[in-house]
Amino acid sequence: MIQLEEVKAELEKSLGVQTELSGSGLLVPKSRLLDVFKFLKENAKYQMDYISNLCAVDYLKQSQIEIVYHLYSMRNKTGPIGIKVRTDRQDCIVPSATPLFRGAEFQEREAFDLYGVKFEGHTDLRRILMWDGFEGFPMRKDYVHEDEDRYVEHP
């Protein structure tokens, strides 16, 4: 089992990145996200070579969107390490993890499709579940879907 406190101290020592414990993950500043990924992937001790999950969370009240990454190490058979990053809801740009982890490609497209997160450095950022020409990001909490403005009877 990987101790998050340990990872936090390690990141601070080697990269000088101030992280924050948040739930069962580490909240990383957006500007240093790729450095942290690179470190965790290439460091001999961690060897986090596999991204199992990437998802977005909409915090409407704080006007922020959080991206959660789960990293595993196939080689060491350890994990996960939860990494979180927060970004503004309006100007929703996050560096893409795809160059480091190929497995992030479709998951980033999904987060883009449903939450409107723009991943900088992603080579093929298109909608993946909704059709092209769809407007808006349906999983955002303030999305108004088409039937809401039409008459629907509620018991």
Binding residue (CB under 8 A) for another protein from 13, 90, 91, 147: 147
Which residue from 84, 85, 83, 88 is spatially nearest to 62, judged by alpha carbons?
88
Q: Show the CA angle centred on residue 56, arms to residues 58 and 28, nearest 5°.
A: 100
Q: Can you tell me which of 3, 16, 77, 153 binds another protein, judged by CB under 8 A?
A: 153
Total residues binding another protein (CB under 8 A): 15
- The strand pairing partners of 20, in sequence order, are 27
Cβ distance to another protein smaller for residue 50 or 143:
143
Residue 145 binding another protein, by CB under 8 A: yes
Supply the Cα-derived Rg of the chain in whole angstroms: 17
Nearer to another protein, 59 or 134 (CB): 134
Q: Tell the smallest beta-carbon distance from residue 142 to another protein (Å).
A: 13
Say if CB 102 and CB 41 are below 8 A apart.
Answer: no
